[in-house]
């Protein structure tokens, strides 16, 4: 049941991410860096997609996704349409993986992420799912702020 709720939340929030990308007045602004902001909205979008496709799609769902975290932060000028396609692909993978949750034991230890970085000795898949939701929303908030500051 928790995985189904998480799937619903991921779907809702990833749709918000798509809306944030669409709200940029032009594609150049998605990649603009200004002031103390170090990551453009486009890089944060790519980071979220890579993060979720890796930690949910690959680790929990055996999707075969191979993450390139450095590229998430170094890519520039990816068209908004490609960003949106990547978010849609991510949403499909995340939702389908979590809806197959009877195969995912949420109490099982999650070893693909160092537990100590979250102040824990040990992580469960269920706990890590909740962490991923908060991580996603944190970055969507940053994208919202970036868009409003840059525009």
pLDDT in tens, 10-67: 999 999 999 999 999 999 999 999 888 889 999 999 999 999 999 999 999 999 999 9
Tell me which fold the domain 2-150 belongs to: 1.20.120
pLDDT band at residue 103 under the 50/70/90 scheme = low
Domain boundaries in the chain? 2-150
CB 53 within 8 A of CB 85: no
83 pLDDT exceeds 90? yes
Note the pTM of the prediction, 2 decimals: 0.95
Nearest to 110 by CA among 118, 15, 87: 118
Residue-by-residue DSSP string for 120-135: -S--BHHHHHHHHHHH
Going from the C-alpha of 109 to that of each of 74, 105, 115, the distances in angstroms are 32, 9, 10
pLDDT band at residue 105 under the 50/70/90 scheme = confident
User: Given its phi and psi angles, is residue 62 left (phi above 0), alpha (psi -120 to 50 degrees) or beta?
Assistant: left
C-alpha–C-alpha distance, residues 135 and 118, integer Å: 12
């Amino acid at each position: 049941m928790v995985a189904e709720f998480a799937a619903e939340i991921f779907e809702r929030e990833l749709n918000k991410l798509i809306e944030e990308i669409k709200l940029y007045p032009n594609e150049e602004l998605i990649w603009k860096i200004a002031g103390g902001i170090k990551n453009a909205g486009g890089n944060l979008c790519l980071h979220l997609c890579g993060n979720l496709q890796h930690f949910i799609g690959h680790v929990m769902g055996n999707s075969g996704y191979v993450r390139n975290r450095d590229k998430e932060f170094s890519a520039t000028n990816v068209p908004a349409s490609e960003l949106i396609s990547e978010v849609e692909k991510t949403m499909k993978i995340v939702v389908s993986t979590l809806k197959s949750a009877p195969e995912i034991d949420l109490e099982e230890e999650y070893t693909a992420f160092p537990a100590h970085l979250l102040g824990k000795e040990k992580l469960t898949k269920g706990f890590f799912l909740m962490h991923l939701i908060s991580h996603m929303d944190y970055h969507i908030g940053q994208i919202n702020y970036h868009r409003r500051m840059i525009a």
